[in-house]
Amino acid sequence: MKAIVTVIGKDTKGIIAKVSNFLFERDINIEDISQTIMQDFFSMVMMVNIVDIKTPFSVIAKECDNLGKELGLEIRIQSEDIFNAMHRI
């Protein structure tokens, strides 16, 4: 079961480490990472596998949101379905 984690914000030290750790703690495996810097804004997209999660997805989604607020970033986790639906026929 795949999901997409998006991280957007001002580039600061340790973003990748903190987010990876958050995911590791929740048994979420990172399968692919893409990142880009657009006009000072750091954007990272991770393809992750949530097959082993122990808590409900909506709880993890909320925790992601909170982590983002803590770090001054926008962090979201979404099912990959919405991106597949929109960008693939």
Residues near other proteins, by CB under 8 A: 4, 6, 8, 32, 34-36, 43, 45, 47, 57-58, 61-62, 74, 76-87
C-beta closer to other proteins: residue 4 or 71: 4
- Radius of gyration of the chain from its Cα atoms, rounded to whole angstroms: 13
Task: Report in angstroms the alpha-carbon separations of 29 from 20, 50, 60, 81.
Answer: 9, 7, 14, 18
CB of 37 to other proteins, least distance (A): 11
Closer by beta carbon to other proteins, 27 or else 32: 32
- Residue ranges of alpha helices (H) inside 1-89 are 15-25, 57-71, 81-87
Q: How far is the CB of 57 from other proteins (least distance, A)?
A: 6
Q: Rounded to whole angstroms, how far apart are CA atoms 25 and 10? A: 24
Q: CB of 3: closest distance to other proteins in angstroms?
A: 8
